[in-house]
Structure 1
Amino acid sequence: MGKVLSFGELLLRICPDEGGQWLKENNLPFYVGGAEANVATALALWEVPSAYITAVPDNFVAEQVVNYLKSRKVGTEPIVYQGNRLGLYYLPKGKDLKNTGVIYDRAGSAYADLTPGTIDWDKAFEGVTWFHFSAICPAINQAVADVCEEALKAAKERHIFISLDLNYRAKLWKYGKDPVEVMPALAQYCDLIMGNIWAANKMLGTTLNEDLVAETEKDNLLQHAQLTSEEIISKFPNCSIVANTFRFDYKEGIRYYTTLYKDNELTVSQEYLAEKILDKVGSGDCFMAGLIYGFYNELSPADTLAFATAAAFKKLFVPSDATSTTVAEVNETIKTYAN
């Protein structure tokens, strides 16, 4: 197997506390963020050859952030240098990106200014056998959506395995198109699609059975995961693997479980409960990285799902965008929480 190449916008996450203490102390925490960068750093940590492609300005701030990725053993050679600024977003620690409080400051960033023809995909795909991106990329604007399609066509021509995370960010889809008008054209190239039954409905137009989801009852949701997975594979014949996550508030913490559909069989994960967590951001990215890790290392679907789910759960206790949990720690979590 060759490298896993992840594509997306490299961001800085700014974390003002909700009480405004940062103003009094002149202290404002930053984290390096971006869904696909989180995947890339997790894979590198787990010793999967990992590279990352984005666009950043040629200035000292971007240089320091790229050096951070290098320090995490992520290959940065494909990165494009253009434009004047990095994208930013503001979110207090512990909050969820789906929370209405998130503030994006990404317009006019180096990544948002990408256009087809900018990236040399021949060079970017050298030694690559897996390409990963998320639905956040085409949410930025039509030009970036076109770059995504350009990348997917180039990857498919080279028989590169493609994974897609159906991240839905309502505050980003602001250029006159609904996700369902954009995402199906991109999903047709993908071999593995990860998300949840609600995101699939919103972005791929799959059926959402209101009776099954009304009470968030587990048996009903698992039945829906099977139906959604079958529908995705029927609508997008290139796709052979579908994963779904289910994450619900539990007291001050989380109730979490997942599914994986492959070869006409639905695998269901261990269910995790935590009464208190540190940071919701990046948990889904960690799950995606776990899936890639499992399939890259030729684990069984059940072992792949177990690893990905435990990795995502552990991320809830890491106060940053990217995980710092090792393979050994993930495997220990699987043993600790096993039924």
Structure 2
Amino acid sequence: MTADQPATRHGGAGAARGPRPGPVLTFGETMVALRGSGPLKLGGTMAVSVAGAESNVAIGLARLGHSVRWAGAVGDDEAGRLVLRTLRAEAVDVSAAAVDAGAPTGLLLFEPRLPQATRVHYYRSGSAGSRLSPETVERAFATAPPRLVHLTGITPALGPGPRAAAERALCLAREHGSVVCLDVNFRSRLWSAAVAAEVLRAWAPRVDVLIASDDELPLALPEGAGADRSARAEWLLASGVAEVVVKLGADGALVRTADGQTHRPARPVRAVDPVGAGDAFVAGYLSALLDGAGPAACLERGVTTGAFAVAAHGDWEGAPTRAELPLLAAESGTVLR
């Protein structure tokens, strides 16, 4: 199978109508990211890049050879132009993206404080990304209905416009037979667990692939649905989710389907920056899914791309190409010629 062939094995709402031949679609807020070399109050140099969970996944998929469209919103400013330029340079289609002349592009500051601890400061209130509208999503579907729609729990937390855009994407995915992936990706700075649960529990039955960390799973479940991971996954499967993927950090990840449960340990690497590892895992998992691979192979690619991410600095900069995937199988210290 080639990288552009669609996933076909799902049993959820989208799969019942057959996957579409278009690109992967994701959308959300991508910000300009400034990475300091130490405490911000001491000044110093900062590296400039861009960051956003959805665009991280888009870049990860594009590097693996998939056709990807990002349909977020940026301001009509230099920061917004940097976001769009970066995504274009990574072969991500931004033709459906919105440029909002009435709001700035969001800003994200990374402040390293300890080798394994980085503080993150957001400046996104009133940003263009927080004003994303359903019209942007509709434009993306009109251009080429996607084979897979990737959503996160970050976008609906940004405000009523982005939440309505995500709701519209779920409706259009059902109409067009697109496979839907939801990464819960809970952000307590953006909304409370109670509000997140109200939204995500309503979404879960319309999702084919649900991805969450162990502590995020309850946000997609009604109260009392299950006291342990196994019971929670079974409830989600019964509600219509085809694959429940649980990220376990240093312990790897597992996936539960109607056929049972599969686990893969994390790949051992020297970790230098954990930021973006979850998004890299999602990109790897979805890449194998789009190739038509089974759950075990999807997990294997996911933990591999996640390992590449933690072994490099940046949100997305360490994402591998398809040709680089075998590198982690090489013996430590091997020089590849």
TM-score (norm 2): 0.83
Q: How many correspondences in the alignment?
A: 310
* Cα distance in 1 for residues equivalent to 2:40 and 2:139: 45
Which consecutive residues of structure 1, in runs of 5 or more, have no partner in the other structure? Answer: 211-223, 248-254
- Partner residue of 1:5 out of 14, 17, 25: 25
Superposed CA offset, 1:106-137 (max 9, x none)? 11111111344454346455142111010011
1:58 CA drift (Å): 2.2
Indicate yes or no: 2:166 matched with 1:148. Answer: yes
Does structure 1 retain, via aligned residues, the 8 Å contact 2:71–2:137? no
**Is the contact between residue 116 and residue 143 of structure 1 (CA under 8 Å) also seen in structure 2?**
yes
**Structure 2 vs 1, CA of residues 124 and 100 (structure 1 numbering), >3 Å: closer, same or farther?**
farther
Q: Per-residue deviation at 1:272?
A: 3.5
SS of the residue corresponding to residue 29 of structure 2 reads coil
Change (3 A) 1:115 1:66: closer
Equivalent runs, 1:168-317 vs 2, <5 Å: 168-173=186-191, 178-205=195-222, 224-234=228-238, 236-237=239-240, 239-247=241-249, 255-274=250-269, 276-317=270-311
Look up the SS of the partner of 1:29 in the other structure.
Answer: strand
1:177, distance to aligned residue in structure 2 (A) = 5.6
| Same amino acid, percent of matched pairs | 24
Tell me, yes or no, if the aligned pair for 2:36 and 2:47 is still in contact at 8 Å.
yes
Residue in 2 that maps onto 1:215: none
Structure ranking higher on relative contact order (CA contacts 8 Å, 6+ apart): 2
Q: CA deviation at 1:163?
A: 0.4
Determine the structure 2 residue equivalent to 1:91: 110
Partners of 2:306 and 2:293 lie apart in 1 by 17
In the TM superposition, residue 47 of structure 1 has moved relative to its aligned partner by 0.5
Provide the alpha-carbon RMSD of the alignment: 2.7
Q: CA deviation at 1:156?
A: 1.1
Alignment-mate amino acid for residue 110 of structure 2: L
Q: Give a deviation string over 1:32-69, Cα, whole Å, max 9, x none.
A: 10000000001111101111110112233312320111
Q: 1:139 aligns with which of 145, 153, 157?
A: 157
Gaps of 5+ in 2: 1-5, 7-21, 333-337
TM-aligned CA distance change 1:159 to 1:65, over 3 Å: same
Preserved CA contact (<8 Å) 1:282 1:315 = yes
Instruction: Output the TM-score relative to the length of structure 1.
Output: 0.83
Contact 1:56/1:86, CA 8 A, preserved across alignment: yes
TM alignment of 1:62-73, pairs within 5 A: 62-73=80-91
Instruction: Tell me whether 1:164 sits opposite 2:182 in the alignment.
Output: yes
* Aligned-partner Cα distance in 1 for 2:172–2:113: 38
